[in-house]
Every structure is written in structure tokens, then in C-alpha cells.
């Protein structure tokens, strides 16, 4: 099953839906501190979204202060 969590008819845009799903994974401990979250390419295939959407979802997490991004390495849970 692929990409079933994103609802195009939601009041929330796709990037926010993905961002909130990742936020839940972080707050629930599924993605613990110091863990690397999925790469942009992995998010693209997991949620069947484009690069723009994947990047905006990660940006959402950064703005929320949940992760930090290191170029060339990845994005890590704070």
C-alpha cells in the first residue's frame, strides 16, 4: 500500500499532511531524537509526492523546531 495517507481533498495541502504525519512519528517516538528522518527521495516515493512537496514538509518540521537539516548528510530529529 502506497501513498494512501494523503488526501487531495483535505483542507490541508499535501505538504502539510506529510509534515503532520512526520510530526506525529517524531512526537510518538517512532522517530526518536538523533534519528535521521527519511530523505527527500524516500518521502517522494513513500507518499507519492514531488520534490517540492517533500521539501516543504521537511521545512514544516524545521520551522516547528523538531528537526535540523545538515546539507549532504540528512535531516535529524532534535
For DNA, which residue of 31, 66, 75, 77 counts as binding (CB under 7 A)?
A: 75
Distance (Å, rounded) from C-alpha 5 to C-alpha 14? 10
- Residues in 5-64 at the binding interface with DNA, rule: CB under 7 A: 8, 13-16, 39-41, 44, 48-53, 55-56, 58
Helix axes 51-63, 14-28, angle to 10 degrees: 50
Please state the closest distance from residue 61 (CB atom) to DNA, in A. Answer: 11
Please state the closest distance from residue 18 (CB atom) to DNA, in A. Answer: 8
* Distance set, CA 62 to CA 2, 40, 53, 76 (Å): 25, 14, 14, 10
Is residue 29 classed as helix, strand or coil in its secondary structure? coil
Residues that bind DNA (CB under 7 A): 8, 13-16, 39-41, 44, 48-53, 55-56, 58, 69-75
Amino acid at each position: 500500500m502506497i501513498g494512501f495517507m494523503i488526501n487531495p481533498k483535505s483542507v490541508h495541502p499535501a505538504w502539510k499532511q506529510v509534515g503532520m504525519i512526520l510530526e506525529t512519528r517524531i512526537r510518538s517516538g517512532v522517530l526518536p531524537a538523533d534519528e535521521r528522518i527519511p530523505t527527500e527521495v524516500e518521502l517522494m516515493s513513500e507518499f507519492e509526492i514531488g520534490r517540492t512537496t517533500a521539501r516543504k514538509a521537511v521545512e514544516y518540521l524545521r520551522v516547528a523546531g523538531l528537526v535540523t537539516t545538515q546539507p549532504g548528510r540528512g535531516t535529524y530529529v532534535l
